[in-house]
Amino acid sequence: MRPAIAILRKELRVYFTTPVAYAAFTVFSIVTSFFFLRLLVGFQRQIDLNTQLRPHLLQYMNFTDQVLAPLTFQTAVVLVFVVPFITMRLLAEERRTRTFELLMTNPVAPWHIAWGKYLATLVVLAVMLALTLLYPLLVGLVAQVGGVAWETVGTGLLGLFMLGAAFVALGLFISALTSSQVVAAVITFCALLLLWVVGWAATENAGTTAEVLRSMSAIEHIRSFASGALDLRDLVYYLSLSLFGLFMTQRALEAQRWR
């Protein structure tokens, strides 16, 4: 247990004393705030349009469904781009600087390394996602009617965290396979991209094929969270992806011993 906590603390220290975490936060905030603004402007335009032409439709419009839900969905896509950047160094860097030797010659088990690094990265992920709370908070401050459905904000963030955690586990595993951060980032990005676009193929198919493809896509599973529902299937999907990544990381670390 102690070595895992030691690794967790060290990783957090490195994340927050080097530009890695801050660079990720900056990019993430800029992109998500751009999406938020676009959704907000679109929502405003539609309100204006409906007020002039179809006033009876106004009662069906609401901020949560038309801004927050799509924002959760788009934020999930941003994670496809940002997560490889925060996971690439986790193990690749240890191999390149030969500090991996330190972990191998001390009483540290593979699971200590995998979990220590995984949990530290989840802290970074949680802080990053917490930044998006600013958007509904701002709207809540100025909203005159209706306001923000905070349960939906909550499930959306939970969904994003679960999805991010699964992405981190995969990124960690891929980082364990190479000593090059660039290679780790590129492969992780490709893997996450694949998990996203496999859902697109579903629209071109029908029946069982479409169903299978859709359930493989990591982004499709965020839909329930985004609309404010908790679906056990989606929770199980993200959890199993996380555990798979962690298990493979431990295996990769064990294999390392024999080289």
Partner 1 sequence: MIEVQRLVKRYGAQPAVDGISFSVARGEVLGFLGPNGAGKTTTMRILTGALPATEGRVSVAGLDVFDQPMAVKRKVGYLPEVPPLYEELDVLAYLRFVARLKGLPGRRVKSEVERVVQTCGLGEVRGRLIANLSKGFRQRVGLAQALLADPEVLILDEPTIGLDPNQIAEIRGLIRRLAENHTVVLSTHILPEVIQVCQRVLIVHRGRIVADDRLENLTSEARSLEQTFHDLTQE
Which residues lie near partner 1 (CB under 8 A)? 2-3, 5-7, 9-10, 13-14, 17-18, 97-109, 257-258
Measured from the CB atom, the residue of 9 and 45 that comes closer to partner 1 is 9
Token pair in block for residue 213: 């493809």
Measured from the CB atom, the residue of 10 and 54 that comes closer to partner 1 is 10
- CB of residue 119 vs partner 1: minimum separation in angstroms? 15
Measured from the CB atom, the residue of 38 and 96 that comes closer to partner 1 is 96
DSSP 231-245: -HHHHHHHHHHHHHH
Measured from the CB atom, the residue of 109 and 201 that comes closer to partner 1 is 109
Measured from the CB atom, the residue of 4 and 163 that comes closer to partner 1 is 4
Whether the CB-CB separation of 33 and 137 falls below 8 Å is answered with no
Token pair in block for residue 71: 């924002």
The Cα–Cα gap between 178 and 229 comes to 39
Other Cβ atoms closer than 10 A to 248: 18
Whether the CB-CB separation of 74 and 158 falls below 8 Å is answered with no
- CB of residue 135 vs partner 1: minimum separation in angstroms? 32
- CB of residue 7 vs partner 1: minimum separation in angstroms? 7
- CB of residue 181 vs partner 1: minimum separation in angstroms? 14
What SS3 class is residue 30?
A: helix
Half-sphere exposure for 135 (CA within 13 Å, toward CB): 29
What SS3 class is residue 158?
A: helix
- CB of residue 252 vs partner 1: minimum separation in angstroms? 16
Measured from the CB atom, the residue of 110 and 245 that comes closer to partner 1 is 110
Half-sphere exposure for 227 (CA within 13 Å, toward CB): 7
The Cα–Cα gap between 86 and 75 comes to 16
The Cα–Cα gap between 96 and 87 comes to 15
- CB of residue 92 vs partner 1: minimum separation in angstroms? 14
